[in-house]
Amino acid sequence: MRIALAQINYHVGNFDYNADRMLAAINDARNHGADLVVFSELSVCGYPPRDLLLSDAFIKRCMEAVNQVAAGCTEVAAIVGGPYPNTDKGGKSLHNSAFLLYGGQVQQVYHKGLLPTYDVFNEYRYFEPAREFHTVSYGGERIALTVCEDIWNLDGQGMYPVNPPDILKKENPALMINISASPFTWNHSPGRIRIMSENARKYQMPLFTANLVGGQTGLIFDGASTVFNSSGQLVDMLPLFGEDLRIYDLSMLDTVKTKPLPTHPTQEEKCHLIYNALVLGIRDYFRKTGLKKALIGLSGGVDSAVTLVIAAEALGKENVWAVLLPGPYSTEHSVDDAIALATNLGVRHDTISINDAVSSLRNSLASQFQDTRPGIAEENIQARARAVILMGLSNKFGHLLLNTSNKSEAAVGYSTLYGDMCGGLSVLGDVYKTDVYGLARLINASGEVIPENTISKPPSAELKPNQKDTDSLPEYEVLDGLLNCLFEKQMDAKEIIREGYNSALVRRVIKMVYGSEYKRYQSPPILRVSSKCLGTGREMPLDAAYGALDY
């Protein structure tokens, strides 16, 4: 049997597009001698469809798309993913299913048994888990067909009471196929591939995995579909962040040269992964929403500089507009750095002073602010004046404003609601400040694109004289390590202090984090690149008394 893995960038709810892409892949695979083509999880409708699954009309279109693809499977078989009505009494109305298509119709259906309901996943909101598991048959072979999470409970290591491959193995399948929609995080791939390798080795059969690729709002899927031999060795891995179609001879898998399993990325590799993921995330968000052009407030700082570079690569320099908004405390070198960057990239740039707007707003508030000392309110007026101008340009010309705040700032609330938090998409909202500097150095690896002064100068919001971020925050190397303990490692204050962090600092930072939750409720969608994004996947109450401080 010759099996093709089709790694495709689907579009949620765009049924004709998705079906056409699958039919084209089937035709291509057939012309190259494939017998079976494998697509990813929920491929007919795109992943994740979220509450679209609650619409009867949407489910009807899903089934029509399955049948449309099935009609093209006359000379070759295919495995596609889609929702399927639950015909049993009780439970959710749908299954998350894999369809085996050949002979122009649906031949067999497998239902997903393990439904993730954690972090960014909420599948049990929509789907009923399978209670029984059986192999499917094609080409004289039994296939252990599984859907994503079904292979993640190996040896009871996960959170489920059942392990579907253990049950499927009893029917003596010749191979395992897993269709998945496993989202990207910069450190996820080695663990994901290890799980797959262990499945192939434990059950002593080849494993083919077809993973989704592409951006879907804040989620980014990296592809990296894989093939393992019956010893659990990696035969091949499709590219990261790109579409592909490759064909494999099942009988040859144990004789071909294998590849080493990926290891934990170095810091440089981490930055490459994040950079490429963000490019894909921006490009797909614009393509799938029908937007064409982006607007960025360019401050001369490293965050807006990195955002501009990534946006220019994702969309093309002709589709990015940088606007400089100097204010009362903007330094001349920041303006010069911003102009130099825009010139290096060849993007349009304009300069609009906020001084008149700030003066007008201060005059309007003069009687109310009388006899008070200038403080954060006056600083935030500047940030909000910039936002008004940027949103005015966005509304007038149809450019989507990209938010440039980083994860470190967003975590502790070092940002202005309705000011620098404005935008339609947050590019760096899941990237710590130290990694933003890593991205800047990566961008400049082959020559200066971002002015060196932008990278080397102390970061500052420039909302008051001689202001520096360290006036309000610890050094970013310290802050980011502490935040990583809090978010990614899920530690409380006591555990973080045991890691060597100052007790008073830990309590202050955690208080800032929980005290600024309300801001993040109102932030734009964030492109997710870590295992714990401050957007999708983290749900916190605004009025809870607990703040991970008690110890």
Secondary structure of 317-353 in HEC code, one letter for each residue:
HHHEEEEECCCCCCCHHHHHHHHHHHHHHCCEEEECC
CA distances from 292 to 221, 296, 316 (A): 22, 14, 10
**Cα(240)–Cα(213) distance, integer angstroms:** 8
Catalytic residue among 62, 112, 149, 313: 112
- 112 counts as catalytic: yes
Please, what is the Cα angle at 158 between 155 and 164, to 5 degrees? 60
Whether the Cβ atoms of residue 245 and residue 25 lie closer than 8 Å to each other: yes
Do the strands 226-228 and 207-211 form a parallel or antiparallel pair, or are they unpaired? Answer: antiparallel
Strand ranges (E), 397-519: 400-403, 425-426
**Cα(551)–Cα(548) distance, integer angstroms:** 8
- 198 counts as catalytic: no
What DSSP state is assigned to residue 29? H
| Beta-sheet strand order (sheet of 141-147) | 136-138, 141-147, 175-180, 207-211, 226-228, 234-237
200-237 in b/e form (b: 16+ CB < 10 A) is bbebebbbbbbbbbbbbbbbbbbbbbbbbbbebbbbbb
Catalytic residue among 45, 73, 148, 271: 148
| Token pair in block for residue 204 | 């002593």
Residue 98's contacts (CB-CB under 8 Å, 6 or more residues apart) are: 41, 79, 80, 81, 109, 110, 112, 145, 146, 147, 179
- 123 counts as catalytic: no
- Phi-psi region at 406: left, alpha or beta (left = phi > 0; alpha = psi -120 to 50): beta
Burial of 288 (0-12, 13-18, 19+ CB in 10 A): buried
Q: Which amino acid is at 22?
A: M
**Best CA proximity match to 237, nearest among 188, 193, 179, 181:** 193
Q: Which residues are annotated as catalytic?
A: 41, 112, 148
